[in-house]
Every structure is written in C-alpha cells, then in structure tokens.
Structure 1
Amino acid sequence: MAAANYLPSEDQFLCSICLDVFTDPVSTPCGHNFCKNCITEHWDTSYRCQCPLCKETFTIRPDLRVNTLLTEMVAQFRQSAQQKASSSSLQQQVSKPGEVPCDVCTGTKLKALKSCLVCLASYCEIHLEPHLTASRLKRHQLMDPVENLEDRMCTKHDKPLELFCKTDQTCVCMLCHVSDHKTHDVVPLKEEYEGKKAELGKTEAEIQQMIQKRQLKIQEIKHSVDLSEKDADREIAEGVQVFTALKESVERGLNELIKMIEEKQKTTQKQAEGFIKELEQEISELKKRSTEVKQLSHSEDHLHLLQSVQSLKAPLLSKDWTGVSVHPPSLQGTVVRAVSQLEETLNKEMKELLAVSELKRVQQYAVDVTLDPDTAHPKLILSDDGKQVKYGDVKKNLPNNPKRFCHHTFVLAKQSFSSGKFYFEVQVKGKTDWDLGVARESINRKGNITLSPQDGFWTIWLRNGNEYEALTGPPVSRSLKSQPQKVGVFVDYEEGLVSFYDVDAAALIYSFTGCSFTEKLFPFFSPCNNDDGKNSAPLIISPVRVK
C-alpha cells in the first residue's frame, strides 16, 4: 500500500551526465544508473573505465544492459508529465465568463479562436484545424470570435449579411440585393466598414479635440481659481494690515482722550486740595484764637484781662472765601472733538494706507520693458541694455522706417500688450520735462503729433520742473505734494484703465478710466529736450521693488 502511494520525483529519473530524463537507462556494477548512450560515450572518451558518480574503477569494461524496471518507471513518469501538461494547457484554454466558447466542444467548453460566417459557428484551437487545412473549408470567411452569429444572417433568405444598402442604411445579403434592393446603392460590407471606420476616426479625433479643449478650460478655470485665491489672500493680508493700523490709531486716540480727561481732573483735584489745605490752616488758627478768647473771658483778674485784650485785637484772617469755589473741568464736547479729530486722522491714514496697498497690488503685475531702437527719434540716445533714454544734440543718420518717430523725441518699448494687466516704473529724478504713458500700435509716427486718448496716447507729462498734467484732451493739471522721483504706470486692458503713481510717496497721480482698447498697447517715453543742460538726465526703466 505504501508503494502504491509513492510518487517519485523528477530528480530520480534524471541522468547525471546529460541531466535529462533517462533514455534506455542502464546500471553499472556499482549500482548507479545512466542513459546507455551517455555512459558509453563517456567511457569511449576516457582513458579509464570509471563510474562518473562514485569514481569506482573497473578493470574490464562492464557489459551494460538496459534496466527494464527503470525503463518502465521512466515511461510511466513521461506519460504522467504529459497528462499534467495537457491538463494545464486545457485549463488555460477553457472558456471564461465574457469569452466566446467553442460551439463544437462537448463537456468543458474551450475558448474560441475564430468564428466562421459560413458555418455560423465558433471554434477552439483544436476544432479550428479543419478550416485551416481542408481546401473546401479554407474558402470560408473567418473572423475574431463573436457571439450571436445568427444576427449576422439574413432572416429572410438565411444568407450571410455581406452587403450594405446605403439607401436604406442597413445590412443585406446577396439575394436581398437582387430583389428588394435591386435599384439601391449597395456596396460590399467591407467598403462601407472602411468608410464608417474613417468617419469614426474623424469623430474620435474631434472628440479628443473637444476633450483637450475642455481639459485646457479646466486648467484655465483652476488657474483662475488659483489667481483668485492668491488675490484673496493678498487682499486679506492687506486688509488686516490696514485695519490693524486703523485700530491702533483708534486706540491711540482713546488713550489720548482718557489721558487728557484724567489730566484735567487731576488739575481740578490739585486746586481743590490747595484750597482745602489753606482753609484747614485758617480753621486751625481760628480755633486757637477762640480758645484764647474763651480763657480770657473767664478770667477774674481785671488787670490781666485788660492787658491781654490788647493782644487779641490783632486782625483776624482777611481772605474772603465767599467768591472762592472749585469748578469741575468743562468736558462737554471733549469726546465729540476727539472723535472728529480721530476721524480726520483716520481718513488721512486710511488714504495713505490704501494708496500703499493699491501700489503693492498693481506692482504684482510688473513686466520687463526695454526700449525699441527702431522707434526712437534720431536725436535720442538709448543705452545698450535698452533701459535708459536721453536727448542728444546730434541727429543720427538712421533709416526712416515706418515705426520710427521723425518729428517728436518719442520712443516706444519693444514689448506690447493686448490683454490682462501690466505695470512698469520709470525713474524721472533730476528732470524738468518728460512724457510717460502708453500708446496704441496704429498711432501717427510722422509729422506733428497730439498726445491725447483720441489720438491713441494715454500719457502724463512734467513741464518747467513743477507743472504736472494729464493729457486727457484738454490737459488736467495735477497739484502734487512732492515731486516724484519715480513714476509707476499700470494698465488694466479689459477694465480700460491707465493709472500713474508716485512710487516713493505711494500716491496716485492720475487715472484714465473708461478707456476702450482694441489694439496692442506699447509703453511710451519721451525725455524731452535738454533745455540747455537743465533736463539732461535720462529716463531710466527701473526694476520694480514692492514697497
């Protein structure tokens, strides 16, 4: 019984020379087994007859005979291994849920490899063999396995649906074509398939394009949300800063009000304490005199009374307290006046804080701007890095291209903007005259030019060192508390806004509002004439440093 349950392993049937399953196994006198050919060839090439395993040497080459029992065991082992392999292969080929099963298999259904449109059946690898070898079956139309092959047959004629009727947009068989669809536009199924496949390819491309557009839109929306979140965070931070400063001002005002009231009260109290002290001193003196008078009035000594009365005739205290009083400090209207003064202070501080906050906000849109030498008037001198421009007395011989200003000492930047927001700063220190702003692409660049929005310019200028004007058509004068050393220019294209700032004072100089922009906008500069050296300093495009 133990032998019946014994399952030999593959190692027991391997030849130690070729390392493969025994073929014609033979045994040596020492009891070891080898393939007949392996041991024979081994001894033929060796100068001594020796067992490859135990190294026992034989003086006479043994007469080797096939081990019958081992041969039978090897045969059984090979058969068992083949059955296991076949079973494993069969398991791999068994039809799984969702796969098309073979229509011919009985019992366990194997997975179909092909379906035949002529036989209307699906075949596994084994049962497909006749369609691959038999000449009669080779003409059948095979395709990847599909279910419900009956749906591919004409229900009227029981023939394969091999044609497509474009007129009725339906699949038909050959008999349908010569009967019901004789006059219709009928093409082979494959031809229509190729056409529809091409259409589907175009549709897929369109769908992918639509998907990409929507993905880009999602990215755009997310980017907008990110920008909105950043703007919100920045506004909150600025709001906290502004309100904190205002709160501190209110607290200072309250503390000053309390201090002022307390000081007035202390003054009144000090005055009252002085009066009380003086009165108490007089009362003390009067009490002393009263005691002396009482004592003298009870005296029986005539001489003593008469002599002492003279000393008591000294005048009493002469201060008249009738008109003396302590008046509480007049505090009526103190709070109103303090609040009014606080309101004035807060308004001033709030304007300053909002100006700083606004400047910080627009500075977030700083762009890199460089001057375009192709637009510069021939008398202008530009630095190599394109960041500075000044007036030169000598007119250079330059090509009069369509972009160049030929009559006024103007120059534009290389960069243009047709959407969004942008900001740049220009140092104007040491100058008595200058023009700054933005201009649209189609402006007149030849002959006499008027700087106004109607002519495509949104600019401000300085004249005579202290006359600032916004060139709005009729110019608007601007009275500035301090002379700007650096001017910031901000544009919101969609909002139609052009604003100018005194950067150091964080103050708004002027804003063009309600503008309608339809073209590219270019930063615009003019250093103006030298004015006998008084205005020789250059305009300098400066890097933006957030305050």
Structure 2
Amino acid sequence: MALSGALERLQEEAICSICLEYMSEPVSVDCGHNFCRGCITKHCQEKCLWNDAPFSCPQCRAPCRRSSLRPNRQLANIVESIRQLGLGGGVAPGTPLCTQHDERLKLFCEVDEEAICVVCRESQHHRSHAVYPIEEAAQVYKVKLQKVLEHLSKEVEDMKKCESVTKMKMQECKETVKKKRERIVSEFGKLHRLLAAEEKLLLQKLEEEEKQILVMISENVVRLMEQKSLLDELILEIKEKMHLPDEGLLKDMKCILSRCEAVKFQTPKAVSVTLKEDYSIPERCLGMRDMLKKFKVDVTLDPETAHPDLILSEDHKSVRRGGRKLLVSFFDNPRRFSSAPVVLGVQLFFSGRCYWEVHVGDKPEWGLGLCKEAASRKGNILFSPNNGYWVLRLQNGGNYEALTCPVSRLTPSIRPRCIGIFLDYEAGEISFYNVSDRSHLYTFTDKFSGKLRPLFYLGSFLGGKNAEPLVISWMRDMQGTGCIVL
C-alpha cells in the first residue's frame, strides 16, 4: 500500500497540469512549477504574450517570463522511467474532476471556498481570487482546525473545572446547612421545646435560604451542561470534518471557523454559600436564660486546689493572678495544681442539671469548664475530654476555642464578657453560652461517670495585662441538682 501511494504521487508529479498528460520536454518556470514546453508556449500565445512579456503561472498565478524557461532534464528522465514502468498517464480512476471542464481539481479558491481546475483558474470569475494548490490549502486549514480544536478542548477542561467547583459549592452549602440545622435542633432541644415556635421559624428561614442558594447553583450547573453539550457537538463535527477528503473538508470552512470563534465559555454567576442569617437564638428570646436559671447553683472556689500563684477573694467568688514568688511547700498538697494556673469549684456534680455564670470581662486569656474529680493536677496538663477536662478557652485576646481533639475554633458575633455554663449530667452535655447576647457558643457531648467539678483557668499573667479576675455570679438557689459541697 505504501509503494502504491508512492508511485501514485510520483505519477502526479510527472503529469502536466495543463494537458493532464505525462510531460513532454518538461520546462521549469520562475516559480518552480513544471509544464510541457508545448503547453506553456501555447498558454503564452493564447494570452497574446510575445517577446519577453510577463505571464502568470497557470498553477499558482506567480509572475514569470518566457526567457526564464529552463529545460528540466532530471524530470524528463523521471517521466521516461515512469513510461518504461508501464504506469498509465492521465487522470487516475476515481480522481475528482471539474464538472465544467472535466479537468482534475488541483487548486483551491479561498474566496469561493471550492476546488477548481487550472482552466477555472484562468476564468474571469476566479482570476482575481487568491488560489492555492489544493494540498497546500488543505494543510493550512488543517493547522487552523487543529488550533481551534485545542482551544475548544481547553474550554471544555475549564468548564469541567468550573463545574466541579460549582458542585463542590453545592455540597459545601448542604454541609453548612446540615451543621447549622443540627446545632439549632440541639440547642432548642435542651430548652425543652419552650421556644418551639421560634425554632420552627428559624428552620423555615434556613430551608428557604438553602433553596435559594441551591436554585442559583443548579441554574449554573444547567447552563454549564448546556454549554458543554454545544461544545461537544462542535468538536465532534470538526473531528468528522477532518477525516473527510480535502474537497469535503474545505466545504463551508468559513462558517465552521466563524462558529468556533464565536464560542466563548460563559462563566456562571458567582454564588456565595455563606448563610445570610446567623441562626443563633435571637435576643428577643428572653426565656432562654430564665429557664437555665431554674438550674442555677451557687459555685464557690476551693482554695485547696488553687495554684500557688492565684489569689482568691475572701468570699471565694473571684480569683486573679498574683504574680508572687511561689513557695515549694504549696506543692505538697496533692489536691493543688502545680503547673497550670487553675482553681476548681468546691461543688461536686454527679447527676441532674446545673447552671452558673462567670464574668470574664476584658481578660485576654481565660478558660472555663469542668473536670473529673480524679483528673491529674500535677505537671503539664493537656486539657481535653480524653484526659477528663471539658474546657472552653480564650487565647491571645481573640482566639476562642473548645479544647477538643482537634481543637474546635469558635467565632462569637459579640465578645463574651460573661459566660454561662450548663451541665446536663444524664444527657452527657456541657454547654457554654454568651450571656452578653444570649447566644450559644459550644456544647461538649460525652458520657460522664464519677464526680465533676467546675474549673477556672486564669491564663498567662502577660506582664499584668491579664490581671483582671474571674468572678462567679452570685446565685443562692440550689434546687433540682445532684450536688455535693465539700
């Protein structure tokens, strides 16, 4: 098959494009094309060209002169060798011919976008048009189509990436809404459905906002899929076009290229998955704190557990950093914290529900929560539920953290200056509230066993910047709790 193709191309090179027969006395013109001497001479005579007047090459329209005609002896030898091999001259069977002149279609008119013969080239209609050998034109347009194909393929890749990001946003929106929904249901559940109407309203607003976001995202996905479908159809059409014969490939080329150039990926509208509403229990729900106060306990500090650097008030309701020199004898007490600036409450909780409040003011560092009575108090302590500590902490003046594994970052909308702590022993929950705006901060969920004690962490002294005390709110009632006062 390769030999057959080579012989066919060799045969084509030996054929004169004027008479379409093997060349007789082949001569070369200025542009490098070859013709029979008699054919090119006759061509000049038909054009009434005498002496050395310039004429146009019948094949490429390049200007030539008769004086520059040069015998091509090497081509003459090749033509003779082809004749001796017995290869037939003329047009090969199945070769497309001009319907008007019954000549071989060897040229391509760029203006009319059609294959023409050398006779058509000399016609009045095509004489002023840009004409190229059909093989050369096909190669040029193949390069253009390849560039267009690469461009469209890149557009598809960009669209796929955008589609992936858009779908990820949809999932992110669903996850965000799921977490918010769980938090809302949990918070209202702890309040014994006293605020059921408000809960229902907030959940409806959340669902409506979710629908709005998902509708916008879904519209973006639909538009992306429509654009992708159009691009896929265009790419398939181009690929099929590139497998057609040259004359079929070149048909309607301007229309196809114009459609390709018009393709531009329309970036979908940006959709934020950030929820507009805060969905915390609003300030108007005054019943929240009133309910929690039903379980209030009067917490006091236990000086026997206080780190030696801490100073307690006479009523054991507040504690601050002292910055004084530590005495070794203080560490002999096994109940005392030796490294962390911590003091525990006197009360021991083993059942029921308990609530108390602590004023933290503008302290840049503090920690509040509960710990097991049997939790370690010596050396370096890692506050975590695994070690028997459930602590909410502020560090560096703005980093609020629930000390879980890993740490859970919190972002209260208003700086808490008073923290409410609610223990539901049987439910296994320790909840923290920002009393300043009556909002929920965080809830630890665990399975408790043994006795628990309130914990107060003072943080670093910070050269006196953290000298402000932690102050326990004064609440005398102690009803409905499983509590022991040491």
Range of TM-score over shorter length: 0.3 to 0.5
Larger radius of gyration: 1
Choose between structure 1 and 2 for higher RCO, CA contacts under 8 A separated by at least 6 residues: 2
- Report the TM-score when normalising by structure 2: 0.41
Q: Which of the pair is proportionally richer in strand?
A: 2
